[in-house]
Amino acid sequence: MLSTLLHYSRYLHIAAGFIGFFVAPVALAVRKGGLAHRRWGQVFFWAMVVAGSTAIFNASFKGLTFLLLTGIFSLYLAVFGYRALYQKHLGVGRDAGARPAPADWLLVTAGLLIFSGTLVYGLLNKVIPSVVFGLIGVALTGRQLAGFRRRGPWPAGQWLLNHMSGFVGAYIAAVSAFSATSLHFIPWPWNFLWPTLVMVPPLVWVSRRYKARFVQGQRPAEVVEVHIQPTMA
């Protein structure tokens, strides 16, 4: 029974990852915030949820540490990027000064604990993926926790920067997992690291460009189409 379940879960994982690989570039190519962007973004999000969940399920029974780490990392980043869309009210505007929902506090606390453990495990056992995932995860959740504890409203557009970094980060984690397990002609650890080295610099450049525009007084609605999501508990 379990072997059959693991067998089908593996194929579901491959199918979801395959969808995510091709959908993410489409969502990035179309107008940000537009109907096509939102629809393809939702497809990508749910593909990452399925891929990450099945990776965690399979890795837990088969003892595959690398698959477990990438599953947790990609799943967390996808949820982090998705939740950012429900945090527009934390920025400057009519609802300035509102607080994060309990679900957001729970997510960031769990993420900080998991990634701290991942970092410690990687350092003690000299496992490069664990160290990389742990460092990035601790930095991300630590910054997010500091933002949640911030008094007063978030800087304008912070939710947009979080949305971008979460979804692009989830895509990087998924591509890294695929490369490390399938592209054997690339030597280790470069088959794991190259997606980060290739995709992070453009993400940082775009984020800084948007942030500079927000600092100059532009509103997020002048940069992308903004649709206010209902507040989630």
Closest CA to 79 of 167, 171, 145: 167
> Are residues 105 and 90 in contact, defined by beta-carbon separation less than 8 angstroms?
no
Query: What residue has token string 């992308």?
Result: 224
- How crowded is residue 163: how many other Cβ atoms within 10 Å of its Cβ? 23
Whole-number Å distance between alpha carbons of 230 and 232: 6
Lowest-confidence pick of 55-64, 152-161, 220-229? 220-229
Residue 116 backbone zone (phi > 0: left; psi -120 to 50: alpha; other: beta)? alpha
- The model's pTM is 0.87
Query: Which one has a higher pLDDT value, 78 or 225?
Result: 78
Comparing CA positions, the residue from 189, 231, 206 lying closest to residue 89 is 231
User: Could you read off the pLDDT of 160-217 as tens digits, one per residue?
Assistant: 888 998 999 999 988 988 898 888 899 988 888 899 899 999 999 998 998 888 888 8
Token pair of 147, please? 């933002």
Q: Where are the domains of the chain?
A: 2-219
The answer to whether the CB of 10 falls within 8 A of the CB of 58 is: yes
The first and second tokens of residue 163, run together, are 């949305």
What contacts 127, CB < 8 A, 6 or more positions away? 65, 121
- Residues 132-159: pLDDT tens digits? 888 988 988 888 888 888 777 778 788 8
Considering the chain, what is the average pLDDT of its residues?
85
Q: How confident is the model at residue 2 (pLDDT cuts 50, 70, 90)?
A: confident
CA distance 59 to 119: 18
